[in-house]
């Protein structure tokens, strides 16, 4: 063993901004602050913590770098709480894809296997509250389409809601992270390839949105009927359509 003096050093009290970031992080980990929640404004946070705005900014910077929050520009609200676990796993998938450790085909196969397994539990255990949440998701997606806005978030959230309806807490983590990785990969491929082909990112996103919503409506109808065979077929077809669009963009 090395000389203990080389291994250990005096413990120093945390600096103020570290204590502030640790407090906010603890509130997130304890579930007091949830993904999608907004923190108060910078001025209000500094007042509540009784620290300078510079100290508060340093604390928020730590939380942003570690993926706990997103600091939004403009007047759309304070820092946004992120789903740290989902983002971390999603980024691992994306990094592996970029390093050619996994392929689009492999991602699609695994996503199909996992979501089909999940769907069996959804059909057996879903209740009216789950159907209501899924219906609300489709209504919001339809509203966005009518307003000529891509419903990318709603499309991903549909799969997350299905995972929650399985009544197994593992599925939301696994399904959510893979769905988020698929969304981020699709966005990245659109950014990288469409401009070269003279195509519009907006048009591509709208096409993807409309196709997904049609599939989601059919899947939900089959789940409501407890029609396991049809629901599984529709889900597999939908996920392969997503995979095929990814492969087309990656060419």
76 vs 149, higher pLDDT: 149
For 212, other C-beta atoms within 10 Å of its C-beta total: 23
Residues 113, 165, single domain; the answer is yes
pLDDT in tens, 19-62: 899 999 999 888 888 888 889 988 999 999 999 999 999 999 88
Instruction: Write the burial class of residue 19 (CB in 10 Å: 0-12 exposed, 13-18 middle, 19+ buried).
Output: middle
84 vs 241, higher pLDDT: 241
pTM of the shown model: 0.68
pLDDT tops 90 at residue 205:
no
Q: How far apart are CA 222 and CA 216, in angstroms?
A: 10
Residues 142, 246, single domain; the answer is yes
pLDDT at residue 92, rounded to an integer: 67
CA distances from 163 to 62, 126, 179 (A): 31, 10, 11
CATH (domain of 31): 1.10.10.10
Q: How confident is the model at residue 71 (pLDDT cuts 50, 70, 90)?
A: confident
Q: How confident is the model at residue 72 (pLDDT cuts 50, 70, 90)?
A: low
Q: How far apart are CA 49 and CA 128, in angstroms?
A: 43
The overall average pLDDT reported for the chain is: 83
* Domain range for 136: 84-250
pLDDT at residue 11, rounded to an integer: 43
Lowest mean pLDDT among 61-65, 98-102, 162-166, 214-218: 98-102
Is the Cβ–Cβ distance between 94 and 185 less than 8 Å?
yes
CATH (domain of 199): 1.20.120.530
Q: Do strands 69-70 and 80-81 pair parallel, antiparallel, or not at all (unpaired)? A: antiparallel
Is the Cβ–Cβ distance between 222 and 144 less than 8 Å?
no
pLDDT in tens, 99-130: 667 788 888 999 999 999 999 999 999 999 99
Total domain count for the chain?
2
Out of 65-79, 86-100, 141-155, the most confident range is 141-155
163 vs 86, higher pLDDT: 163
pLDDT at residue 208, rounded to an integer: 75
- Of 66, 81, 96, the domain-final residue: 81
10 contacts: CB under 8 Å, gap ≥ 6: none
Residues 68, 118, single domain; the answer is no
Q: How confident is the model at residue 241 (pLDDT cuts 50, 70, 90)?
A: very high
Q: Which residues pair with 138 in a beta bridge?
A: none
Residues 43, 75, single domain; the answer is yes
Residues 162, 202, single domain; the answer is yes
pLDDT tops 90 at residue 132:
yes
Lowest mean pLDDT among 84-88, 131-135, 165-169: 84-88
For 129, other C-beta atoms within 10 Å of its C-beta total: 9
pLDDT at residue 68, rounded to an integer: 84
Lowest mean pLDDT among 74-83, 121-130, 181-190, 240-249: 74-83
Residues 122, 243, single domain; the answer is yes
202-226 mean pLDDT: 87
pLDDT at residue 94, rounded to an integer: 62
């Amino acid at each position: 063993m090395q000389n203990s003096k080389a291994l250990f050093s005096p413990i120093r009290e945390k600096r103020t901004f570290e204590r502030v970031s640790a407090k906010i992080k603890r509130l997130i980990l304890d579930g007091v602050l949830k993904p999608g929640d907004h923190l108060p404004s910078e001025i209000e946070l500094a007042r509540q913590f009784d620290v300078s705005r510079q100290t508060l900014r340093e604390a928020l910077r730590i939380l942003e770098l570690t993926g706990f929050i997103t600091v939004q520009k403009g007047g759309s609200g304070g820092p946004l709480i992120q789903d740290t676990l989902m983002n971390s796993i999603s980024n691992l998938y994306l990094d592996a894809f970029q390093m050619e450790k996994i392929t689009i085909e492999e991602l699609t196969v695994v996503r199909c296997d996992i979501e089909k397994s999940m769907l069996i539990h959804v059909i057996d255990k879903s209740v009216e509250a789950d159907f209501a949440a899924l219906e609300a998701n489709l209504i919001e997606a339809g509203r966005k389409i009518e307003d000529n806005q891509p419903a990318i978030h709603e499309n991903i959230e549909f799969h997350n809601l299905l995972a929650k309806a399985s009544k197994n807490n593992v599925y939301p983590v696994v399904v959510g992270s893979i769905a988020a990785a698929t969304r981020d990969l699709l966005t990245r491929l659109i950014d990288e390839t469409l401009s070269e082909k003279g195509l519009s990112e907006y048009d591509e996103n709208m096409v993807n949105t409309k196709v997904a919503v049609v599939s989601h409506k059919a899947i939900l109808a089959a789940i409501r009927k407890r029609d396991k065979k049809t629901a599984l077929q529709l889900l597999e077809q939908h996920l392969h359509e997503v995979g095929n669009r990814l492969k087309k963009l990656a060419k």
